[in-house]
A and B are shown apart, each in its own frame.
Chain A
Amino acid sequence: MINRNFTIRKSDIMNRRMFIIGIAKLIVFGGLITRLFSLQINDNKKYLTLSDKNRIREWKLPPIRGDIVDYFGNIIAGNLKVYQLHVIPEQVENFNYLLSRLKTILKLSDKRVEQIKKKKQQLKPWESLIISENLSWDQFLVINNYLYELIGVKPVMTISRNYPFDEIYTHVLGYVSQPNENDLLSNDVIKEKFVPGIKVGKLGLEKTFENDLIGINDIQRYEVNAYGKRINQLDYQKGAQGSKIRITLDTDVQKLSAELLKNKAGSISVMDIFTGEIIAMYSSPSYNPNSFLFGISQDEWQLIRNNPLKPLINKTLSGLYSPGSTIKPIVALSALENGIMDTNFKVQCKGKMELHGQTFHCWKEKGHGWMSLNNAMKQSCDTYFYEIARKLGVDKLKVTADKFGLGHKVLGEYFENEKSGQFPDTKWKINNLGKGWVLGETLITGIGQGYTQTTPIQLCLMTAQIANGGYKIKPKILTDDNQLTTEQIIKAIQNSKSKNLYEPLFLNQKNIKIIQKAMFSSTNELRGTSYKSRIDDPKYQFAGKTGTAQVKRISKRERELDLKTFQIPYKERDHALYVAFGPYINPRYALSIIVEHGGSGSVAAAPMAKELFKLIIDKHQLRNDNKVFNI
């Protein structure tokens, strides 16, 4: 009985205490369920996202760049299929053996083999290793023959940038290559679209219009496991090719320019004098942009870099030259506009001029005799221009030069490496050199020497604005479907209401006509400096001004020796320049030519204008017909 009582008392305690524990259990389970609720119901979205982040990995593919076409729609920067060779290390039994097989089949260099081995270390075994970025067709065929025994090797077709005209457009388009750290940091679009294998613009329009050209990546969405291995493809999102860009240049004119400047250092620029469209812009020598696509070889790069003719510099925009006598139309115009002289004003040229004990030489030692404006322009008499510059003063001259675009960037919004050059005045000298202006400096400024530095494109713009009757134009390199035609512009100019649209750069338009006439004489009249390069057919007849820019001061002894160009060391020869517009009646186009160290402008530069005008004017009608091109 006692025993039984104990048992009952014991079980009472047990039951009571178990009950307490039972309550505690329910509370704890309630807590666990609350926790489950908070994870699975409240934070479900958050964890679903995290789970997808875990399992879904996106692979972007390099986007296809937009094409760049010339005015007539010819592709000048396009895309080409290339064959690449990839290896997936995971599938390869003996990697070193495979590599030695590939080395013999593809004739890979030892250096390349080392690179591949190094790259393999950095990759996961299921990621494809690129053996060759650009297989030649022959290599591709050979590989296909061996494919059955090369397990883990796969030929892959991809798209690569291609410049069909090689070096013709390099300085305009630039080139593409793999982006470096700087490209990624400075352009968020590149950063966003970056994938290994993408190519981005490094220079020129390829760089300027990167964001339009780059395109949209294709995206592959894969489910991956915890180790990053792709399990299956969930989704393939098609991207888009970049926008097509049409530029104003004419490949034929560009090609002719390249031909004319072959083996020479220099630049040719051609511009529509009303629309401002650049028709050609070639800097010589150039280099092949296709070389940069798959990494340029060290040897080829050194060859370009060390070329004394400096192919890497875009001379049209970044080459700074003394304008020489090509400045004379502006000097004469400034003198006329400021009322310093009229067409009857005459100066006697004795071959030199003395000022404050200093001698200023005319190019013609014997002198030109009595010179009027027209004759002085025609024969490019230095003494005449010394005299009118002296009377005019440099400050007034600068105002006119400024108006016509000298010392200012022309295409700076498209090309970051364009230089502005300078046109000096008294203030400029004090500010930059800390010295007062000397009258002698005005004289040499009047013949385009001294401190004046211009780019070939500035000279082209200057000539265009003289040729169109003295109206300000905005040079452009991209086509614009809303662009007015030449006829519409001429009509608009004649209509006084649209003066704001086409700002006149003159006080009296008669003065512009006088300058045009003087340039006509310089080319088309006997004893004109470019008379030999003239075309008599009025359809092609053009007017121009030669220039010969000294690279160094000519010493007394050299002047006495009167050496021929080929007798002078290359680096010391004068730069040859020529600016012109045509046709003379109803002008449409202007050009500037510069041949570095080419000697005199009339011999080295002016004959090129003849070839160019023939082609440009022949294509005039075709160009008009293609104003709006369906691309």
Chain B
Amino acid sequence: MFQHTRLNSDQNLFQKIKNLDYILLISLILLSILSFFVMYSTDGGELLAHSKNHLLKLSIFFMMMLIISFFNIKLWHYFSYFFYFLIILLLIWVSIFGIKVSGSQRWIDLYLIVLQPSELMKIGIILCLAKYYHRISIEKVNTFSSILIALVIIILPIILVLAQPDLGTSILIASSGLIILWLGGVKIKYFIVSFITFLISLPFVITVLEPYQKLRILTFLDPDRDPLGAGYQIIQSKIAIGSGGFSGKGFLNGTQSYLDFLPEKHTDFIFTLFSEEFGFLGSIGLIILYTIIILRVIRIGTICRSSFARLFCFGFAFALFIYITVNLSMVLGLLPIVGSPLPIMSYGGSSMLATMIGFGIVMSAKVHSKQMIA
């Protein structure tokens, strides 16, 4: 089966560079530069640990993205299952030997980088399911066994991530997985039926539980919940964004973050700081930039010959959309607080690593868009 697969490309390096998607590349560079300046602002206008590290990671991972894009998309197809199982192993490793920080066990110390495998799983699940639906014939998509296998692929990492516990990331993994199912051609009625079943069963499950059990489950699912603060984070975030106004308070002049009213300003609430300093205009600009990136990824998907590349691009585009939506809804006070970073902008190595790998594969799909995969 694998004898047909040619892992080396027939284009030379120059052609590959020529074939890179420059709209996406420039958008990413813009976003990276922007993210550095915002990080610089969180450091209070000085080049301190956060901005330095962020810059370093950006440079390394950007290079890595380019390198990934030069490898044939067939290679990534070939290693998809391997990556998936490797990350599953890492997740198991985390649950046994991981570093515990404030009640949840999510990280592995790899000396050079503290890795969060659940972030990598966001890409891993897309890769794995894209390959799965690439290989499965359209008639078999809706058979019981193939749906069951797809669900197992999704549920396995989710159980491991939920056990850390990390509700936010598991929701993001689940939605990325489900979207591939949807794109792969699983019947709409299955989605509708399971969604309705889920909604109907939810109140029963909740009523059966004792109050202390509910509380325990809530705390289990979401240890970051702050019962004493009662929405302090979200209130401060809304104040910061709202006070930014039309054109913002100006770069380095965000009082809410400068005076430490804003919690988690480096990570989950980075948009809040950005929006406070750059206002409505800046925020719209950022959303437009993200939209360009997403649309571009979708566009790349549509020109790919192989279903794998197309599924991956669509899946990744949707995942980006979900990350951005969940993060923005959270800081705008539309969703409860579940830890979820804003791609590229937020401080955090694993998230950026996963995102950049994703973009690398998308780039590779663009460079090798004519590539057929058996």
A-to-B contact residues, CB < 8 Å: 6-7, 9-11, 13-15, 17-18, 21-22, 25, 28-29, 32-33, 35-37, 39-41, 43-44, 46-48, 50-51, 54-55, 223-227, 231
Interface string of B217-248 (1 = CB under 8 A from A): 00000000000000000001011111111100
Q: Does B167 lie at the interface of the complex (its beta carbon under 8 Å from any beta carbon of A)?
A: no
Residue in B133, B137, B242, B298 whose CB lies within 8 Å of A39: B242
Query: Is A51 in contact with B138, judged by CB distance below 8 angstroms?
Result: no
Q: Would you give 26 A-B contacts (Cβ < 8 Å), ordered by A?
A: A6-B137, A10-B185, A13-B185, A14-B184, A14-B301, A14-B307, A14-B311, A17-B182, A18-B298, A18-B301, A18-B302, A21-B182, A22-B295, A29-B325, A32-B334, A37-B280, A40-B275, A40-B283, A41-B245, A46-B242, A47-B241, A48-B242, A48-B245, A51-B243, A54-B239, A227-B260
Of residues 173 through 193 on chain B, the ones whose CB sits less than 8 Å from some CB of chain A are 179, 182-185
Assembly CA distance A566 to B310 (angstroms): 122
Query: Is A54 in contact with B244, judged by CB distance below 8 angstroms?
Result: no
Q: A41-B245, A43-B242, A47-B241 are in contact. Are A32 and B259 (CB under 8 A)?
A: no
Of residues 234 through 268 on chain B, the ones whose CB sits less than 8 Å from some CB of chain A are 236, 238-246, 255-256, 259-261
- Determine the chain A residues whose CB is within 8 A of the CB of B98 once the complex forms: none
Q: Does B314 lie at the interface of the complex (its beta carbon under 8 Å from any beta carbon of A)?
A: yes
Chain A minimum-CB-distance residue to B283: A36
Residue in A29, A35, A224 whose CB lies within 8 Å of B259: A224
5 closest residue pairs by CB, A with B: A47-B242, A51-B243, A226-B260, A225-B259, A40-B280
- Determine the chain A residues whose CB is within 8 A of the CB of B85 once the complex forms: none
Query: Is A7 in contact with B307, judged by CB distance below 8 angstroms?
Result: yes
Query: Is B287 in contact with A33, judged by CB distance below 8 angstroms?
Result: yes
Query: Which residue, A13, A21, A51, A227, has most C-beta atoms of chain B within 10 A?
Result: A51
Chain B contact residues: helix, strand, loop or mixed: helix
- Determine the chain A residues whose CB is within 8 A of the CB of B280 once the complex forms: 36-37, 40-41
User: Within the complex, what minimum Cβ distance (angstroms) separates A25 from chain B?
Assistant: 5
- Determine the chain A residues whose CB is within 8 A of the CB of B182 once the complex forms: 17, 21
Residue in A7, A32, A47 whose CB lies within 8 Å of B325: A32
Assembly CA distance A10 to B321 (angstroms): 23
Assembly CA distance A15 to B275 (angstroms): 34
- Determine the chain B residues whose CB is within 8 A of the CB of A15 once the complex forms: 302
Q: Does B213 lie at the interface of the complex (its beta carbon under 8 Å from any beta carbon of A)?
A: no
Assembly CA distance A10 to B325 (angstroms): 28
Of residues 192 through 219 on chain B, the ones whose CB sits less than 8 Å from some CB of chain A are none
Q: A40-B246, A54-B256, A231-B259 are in contact. Are A11 and B307 (CB under 8 A)?
A: yes
Q: Does B17 lie at the interface of the complex (its beta carbon under 8 Å from any beta carbon of A)?
A: no
Q: A36-B283, A226-B259 are in contact. Are A28 and B246 (CB under 8 A)?
A: no
User: Within the complex, what minimum Cβ distance (angstroms) separates B267 from chain A?
Assistant: 17
- Determine the chain A residues whose CB is within 8 A of the CB of B240 once the complex forms: 47, 51
Query: Is B246 in contact with A41, judged by CB distance below 8 angstroms?
Result: yes
Assembly CA distance A17 to B334 (angstroms): 27
Q: Does B279 lie at the interface of the complex (its beta carbon under 8 Å from any beta carbon of A)?
A: yes
Query: Which residue, A14, A41, A224, has most C-beta atoms of chain B within 10 A?
Result: A14
Assembly CA distance A287 to B291 (angstroms): 82
B-to-A contact residues, CB < 8 Å: 133, 137-138, 179, 182-185, 236, 238-246, 255-256, 259-261, 275, 279-280, 283-284, 287, 291, 294-295, 298, 301-302, 305-307, 310-311, 314, 317-318, 321, 325, 328-329, 332, 334
Q: A14-B311, A14-B314, A39-B238 are in contact. Are A44 and B259 (CB under 8 A)?
A: no
Assembly CA distance A32 to B333 (angstroms): 11
Residue in B255, B256, B298, B332 whose CB lies within 8 Å of A36: B332
Query: Is A28 in contact with B325, judged by CB distance below 8 angstroms?
Result: yes
- Determine the chain B residues whose CB is within 8 A of the CB of A40 once the complex forms: 241-242, 244-246, 275, 279-280, 283
Query: Is B138 in contact with A55, judged by CB distance below 8 angstroms?
Result: no
Residue in A11, A13, A28, A36 whose CB lies within 8 Å of B284: A36
Query: Is B284 in contact with A33, judged by CB distance below 8 angstroms?
Result: yes
User: Within the complex, what minimum Cβ distance (angstroms) separates A104 from chain B?
Assistant: 40
- Determine the chain A residues whose CB is within 8 A of the CB of B298 once the complex forms: 18, 22
Residue in B138, B184, B334 whose CB lies within 8 Å of A35: B334
- Determine the chain A residues whose CB is within 8 A of the CB of B243 once the complex forms: 44, 47-48, 50-51
Given A21-B182, A32-B287, 16 more pairs with CB closer than 8 A: A6-B137, A11-B307, A17-B182, A18-B302, A22-B295, A25-B318, A32-B329, A35-B334, A36-B280, A39-B238, A40-B283, A41-B245, A47-B242, A51-B240, A226-B259, A231-B259
Query: Is A14 in contact with B242, judged by CB distance below 8 angstroms?
Result: no
Query: Is B245 in contact with A21, judged by CB distance below 8 angstroms?
Result: no
User: Within the complex, what minimum Cβ distance (angstroms) separates B287 from chain A?
Assistant: 6
Assembly CA distance A310 to B314 (angstroms): 95
Query: Is B245 in contact with A51, judged by CB distance below 8 angstroms?
Result: no
Residue in B137, B255, B294 whose CB lies within 8 Å of A51: B255
User: Within the complex, what minimum Cβ distance (angstroms) separates A231 from chain B?
Assistant: 7
Assembly CA distance A29 to B320 (angstroms): 12
- Determine the chain A residues whose CB is within 8 A of the CB of B256 once the complex forms: 51, 54-55
- Determine the chain A residues whose CB is within 8 A of the CB of B332 once the complex forms: 32, 35-36, 39
User: Within the complex, what minimum Cβ distance (angstroms) separates A55 from chain B?
Assistant: 5
Query: Is B259 in contact with A54, judged by CB distance below 8 angstroms?
Result: yes
Query: Is A55 in contact with B261, judged by CB distance below 8 angstroms?
Result: yes
Query: Is B239 in contact with A51, judged by CB distance below 8 angstroms?
Result: yes
Query: Is A25 in contact with B275, judged by CB distance below 8 angstroms?
Result: no
- Determine the chain B residues whose CB is within 8 A of the CB of A22 once the complex forms: 295, 298
Query: Is B183 in contact with A14, judged by CB distance below 8 angstroms?
Result: yes
User: Within the complex, what minimum Cβ distance (angstroms) separates A451 from chain B?
Assistant: 68
Chain B minimum-CB-distance residue to A22: B298
- Determine the chain A residues whose CB is within 8 A of the CB of B328 once the complex forms: 32
- Determine the chain A residues whose CB is within 8 A of the CB of B310 once the complex forms: 11, 14
Query: Is B307 in contact with A10, judged by CB distance below 8 angstroms?
Result: yes
Assembly CA distance A596 to B27 (angstroms): 99
- Determine the chain B residues whose CB is within 8 A of the CB of A17 once the complex forms: 182-183, 185
Query: Which residue, B239, B245, B275, has most C-beta atoms of chain A within 10 A?
Result: B239
- Determine the chain B residues whose CB is within 8 A of the CB of A13 once the complex forms: 138, 183, 185
Query: Is B138 in contact with A10, judged by CB distance below 8 angstroms?
Result: yes
Chain A minimum-CB-distance residue to B279: A40
User: Within the complex, what minimum Cβ distance (angstroms) separates B227 from chain A?
Assistant: 19
User: Within the complex, what minimum Cβ distance (angstroms) separates A598 from chain B?
Assistant: 71
- Determine the chain A residues whose CB is within 8 A of the CB of B302 once the complex forms: 15, 18
Assembly CA distance A224 to B256 (angstroms): 10
Assembly CA distance A223 to B242 (angstroms): 19
Assembly CA distance A43 to B259 (angstroms): 22
Chain B minimum-CB-distance residue to A39: B242
Assembly CA distance A223 to B261 (angstroms): 12
- Determine the chain B residues whose CB is within 8 A of the CB of A7 once the complex forms: 305-307
- Determine the chain A residues whose CB is within 8 A of the CB of B255 once the complex forms: 51, 54-55, 223
Assembly CA distance A17 to B184 (angstroms): 9
Chain B minimum-CB-distance residue to A44: B245
Assembly CA distance A158 to B332 (angstroms): 48
Assembly CA distance A263 to B89 (angstroms): 99
- Determine the chain B residues whose CB is within 8 A of the CB of A10 once the complex forms: 133, 138, 185, 307
- Determine the chain B residues whose CB is within 8 A of the CB of A54 once the complex forms: 236, 239, 255-256, 259, 261
Q: A36-B283, A39-B238 are in contact. Are A21 and B179 (CB under 8 A)?
A: yes
Chain A minimum-CB-distance residue to B290: A29
User: Within the complex, what minimum Cβ distance (angstroms) separates A336 from chain B?
Assistant: 83
Query: Is B242 in contact with A50, judged by CB distance below 8 angstroms?
Result: yes
Assembly CA distance A55 to B295 (angstroms): 40
Assembly CA distance A247 to B93 (angstroms): 88
Assembly CA distance A10 to B301 (angstroms): 13
User: Within the complex, what minimum Cβ distance (angstroms) separates B42 from chain A?
Assistant: 14
Assembly CA distance A15 to B307 (angstroms): 11
Assembly CA distance A22 to B183 (angstroms): 12
Q: A50-B242, A54-B239 are in contact. Are A18 and B183 (CB under 8 A)?
A: yes
Assembly CA distance A449 to B31 (angstroms): 101
Assembly CA distance A422 to B283 (angstroms): 81
Chain B minimum-CB-distance residue to A18: B314
Query: Is B321 in contact with A25, judged by CB distance below 8 angstroms?
Result: yes
Assembly CA distance A586 to B305 (angstroms): 125
- Determine the chain B residues whose CB is within 8 A of the CB of A11 once the complex forms: 307, 310
